[in-house]
Chain A
Amino acid sequence: MLELRPILSALWRHKVSALLIALQLGLTLAVISNAAVIVQERIQQVTRPTGVAVADIVTAHIAPVAKDYDLLQAFRLDLAMIRALPEVVAATVSRAPLTGSGSSSGVQAEPNREVGATPAAIFMVDEHFIDALGMQLVAGRTFAAEEIGEASETTSWRSNTVIITQQLADKFFANTQALGKAIYFSGEDNPMEVVGIVARNLGPWPNSTRAGNAIFLPILMDTQKHDFIVRAAPGQRDGLVKLLEEKLAERDSERVITVKTLEEQKNRYYAGDNTLITMLSGVVGLLTFIVALGIIGLTVFWVAQRQKQIGVRRALGANRSTICRYFLLENLMIATTGISFGVAAAQIFNHFLVSAFNQPPLPPATVASCALALVLISLVAALIPSLRAANISPATVTRSL
């Protein structure tokens, strides 16, 4: 015995406050469902697989003091020392991925082509890089020690072999076998034979559209831009930070050494996204809280205003749960009205966000779950005053005028 129609006609006499709260609910839905999509998308972006063992990797940067410092020699000696540490699984010298800085170049599947180059991150590495980064080799081989050439920033260099990511292999060679094929730097004629394919590497800029296109060249590069990339044994990472600082200083105390975890650097890269996630989640929480307060306030007000009427209804045969149900149903009607309006408003708002700010489109499932959450929250909010209404004594009807 749902008394929908009489509730509706009674509600109609208070339509302004009812519609205002419905409007508030609807707008809240429009905002939070759109915020939820953005948050969802960013979380997905931040937490998607990087292809490297972020949690175990430590990088060490060396800034030599002397001008004529033999960096390549230092690399060799330092790496030998680092690899001998029991806490270390593998180490290489290169540029760390996921940090927001690196180098990239256009790559082609044919020689001497300028147009239509595919941008790819370039990593110059030695033969230990797959283990050091914790990547997975899915085809071919890694570099051999004798394959590693030497180069500096001022000399020209070339490589005959290359290892690429699966994503790049798929792009260039679609469904055919990539191993043994050659790729070229844009506009150049030097073929680089693909000797290995790694499963994944997001490269230096995970948020860019070229993320995941990466090539690895067997070159030991004389540049201060390169860091040691050291993969710690499980659980050893934090200890290794301190240890590396000590051991590197011990080997040559004339240097300024900076050791960081890759995780820290990745978090810094994603700082903007993480701030956005936190802020938008905060806004969602706050808006929901405000709308819940509004509902509590309105229901408390209506219960107080209708004390006498509640007494009358009790005298006429309503029991406690009838009264409680009345206010919950009334609230549900307001919520449903607001939510229906909000679903439409959410689409309009999303349309604007998509076209003006290139934000993701709103999936129906997200709107639906936000709508459901809001209905539940409004019911819970209304429950407190409704239970109080149910406790109003039937004698109210004769005791107060």
Chain B
Amino acid sequence: MLKMHKVRKSFRTDTIETHALRDFNLEVKEGEFIAVTGPSGSGKTTFLNIAGLLEAHSGGQYLLDGDDVSGLNDRQRSRLRNEKIGFIFQGFNLIPDLNLFDNIDVPLRYRGFKASERRRRIDKVLQQVGLAARAKYLPSQLSGGQQQRIAIARALAGEPRFLLADEPTGNLDSLMARQVMELLELVNDWGTTIVMVTHDPDLARRAERNIQIVDGQVADLEYHANPAALSA
């Protein structure tokens, strides 16, 4: 599904050069649920940005579905993001001027679906996240947990194979965090590959596999054969 080999990312300002990722190696298999932890500033977001084609890497090789993405132009990268990847952010990032229906509609329009197909998909994901009755609400009329569920619905509507989440529960209280986590687990059960950055060790433990990023590199790998047993 995703394979990074010796990926590097450096940020250059006038005075300093930051190496956010160095010799970063990782392989994610189809259907996995991976939790990424690590200290602040270690490069977790940078990794997600590169994985999600939000940013280009400075060196090394990144294969998405077996294809090297380094030579793609903006249009091709945008299409891949739209078709293959769903994003969930700590800050929900719903578009405040659009109601929930229209928020979920945004990536579907970019995809070029017909109106009837978009409506079908929006209704379906609204059902899945349990907010079908609020389609015409504005984001500001929802609680944080509800907003995050809409963000998940928006990420799912395009039926991506790959879901990237950057601290999706970071702004939520523990009850809402657990609801969001359960939703993600459900999505993973349907077959979507998930990579989730989190600070919460309890949530991380529920993932199939944990990786820790320290100083721009994968530090150690930890496998959980049975996440349900561990969280008990």
- The residues of A with any CB-CB pair to B shorter than 8 Å are 1, 3, 6, 9-10, 13-14, 308-309, 311-322, 393-395, 397-399, 401
Which B residues lie within 8 Å of A10 (CB)? 95, 97-98
Instruction: Give chain B interface residues in 34-57, CB to chain A under 8 Å.
Output: 45, 48-49, 52-55
Given contacts A320-B74, A398-B49, contact A315 B54 (CB under 8 A): yes
Q: Which of B49, B53, B83 has the most chain A CB atoms closer than 10 A to its own CB?
A: B49
Task: Count residues of chain B with CB under 8 A from any CB of chain A.
Answer: 36
Q: Which 8 A-B pairs have the closest CB atoms?
A: A317-B82, A319-B78, A10-B97, A317-B110, A316-B107, A394-B54, A13-B97, A395-B55
The answer, yes or no, to whether B134 is at the interface (CB within 8 Å) is no
Instruction: Give chain B interface residues in 80-126, CB to chain A under 8 Å.
Output: 81-83, 87, 89-91, 93, 95-99, 102, 105-107, 109-112
What distance in Å separates the Cβ of A172 from its nearest Cβ neighbour in chain B?
A: 73
Q: List 20 A-B pairs, Cβ < 8 Å.
A: A3-B109, A6-B98, A6-B105, A9-B98, A10-B97, A309-B95, A309-B97, A312-B95, A313-B95, A313-B106, A317-B83, A317-B107, A317-B158, A318-B78, A319-B79, A395-B55, A397-B89, A398-B45, A398-B48, A398-B166
B89 & A316 in contact (Cβ 8 Å cutoff):
no
Which B residues lie within 8 Å of A308 (CB)? 93
What distance in Å separates the Cβ of A307 from its nearest Cβ neighbour in chain B?
A: 12
The answer, yes or no, to whether B154 is at the interface (CB within 8 Å) is yes
Given contacts A6-B102, A6-B109, A9-B102, contact A395 B49 (CB under 8 A): yes
The answer, yes or no, to whether B12 is at the interface (CB within 8 Å) is no
Which A residues lie within 8 Å of B49 (CB)? 395, 398
A314 & B78 in contact (Cβ 8 Å cutoff):
yes
A-B contacts at CB below 8 angstroms, number: 88
A6 & B54 in contact (Cβ 8 Å cutoff):
no
Give A10 to B98 CA distance when docked, in angstroms: 6
Which A residues lie within 8 Å of B54 (CB)? 314-315, 393-395, 397-398
What distance in Å separates the Cβ of A283 from its nearest Cβ neighbour in chain B?
A: 37
A397 & B93 in contact (Cβ 8 Å cutoff):
yes
Known contacts A6-B98, A313-B95, A314-B78; 13 further A-B pairs (Cβ under 8 A): A13-B97, A309-B96, A313-B106, A315-B52, A316-B81, A317-B79, A317-B82, A317-B83, A318-B78, A395-B54, A397-B87, A398-B45, A398-B166
What distance in Å separates the Cβ of A59 from its nearest Cβ neighbour in chain B?
A: 71
CB nearest neighbor in A for B50: A395
CB nearest neighbor in A for B109: A3
Which B residues lie within 8 Å of A309 (CB)? 95-97
Which B residues lie within 8 Å of A401 (CB)? 90-91
CB nearest neighbor in A for B79: A317
Give A395 to B54 CA distance when docked, in angstroms: 5
Instruction: Give chain B interface residues in 155-203, CB to chain A under 8 Å.
Output: 158, 166
A394 & B55 in contact (Cβ 8 Å cutoff):
yes
Give A319 to B79 CA distance when docked, in angstroms: 8
Which A residues lie within 8 Å of B89 (CB)? 397-398
CB nearest neighbor in A for B53: A394
What distance in Å separates the Cβ of A305 from its nearest Cβ neighbour in chain B?
A: 10
Which A residues lie within 8 Å of B45 (CB)? 398-399
Give A401 to B45 CA distance when docked, in angstroms: 13
What distance in Å separates the Cβ of B117 from its nearest Cβ neighbour in chain A?
A: 13
Which B residues lie within 8 Å of A311 (CB)? 93
Which B residues lie within 8 Å of A312 (CB)? 93, 95
A14 & B97 in contact (Cβ 8 Å cutoff):
yes
Which B residues lie within 8 Å of A318 (CB)? 78, 110
What distance in Å separates the Cβ of A334 from its nearest Cβ neighbour in chain B?
A: 15
What distance in Å separates the Cβ of A6 from its nearest Cβ neighbour in chain B?
A: 5
Give A25 to B123 CA distance when docked, in angstroms: 40
What distance in Å separates the Cβ of A321 from its nearest Cβ neighbour in chain B?
A: 8
What distance in Å separates the Cβ of B121 from its nearest Cβ neighbour in chain A?
A: 14
Given contacts A397-B54, A399-B45, contact A317 B97 (CB under 8 A): no
B87 & A316 in contact (Cβ 8 Å cutoff):
yes
What distance in Å separates the Cβ of A90 from its nearest Cβ neighbour in chain B?
A: 74
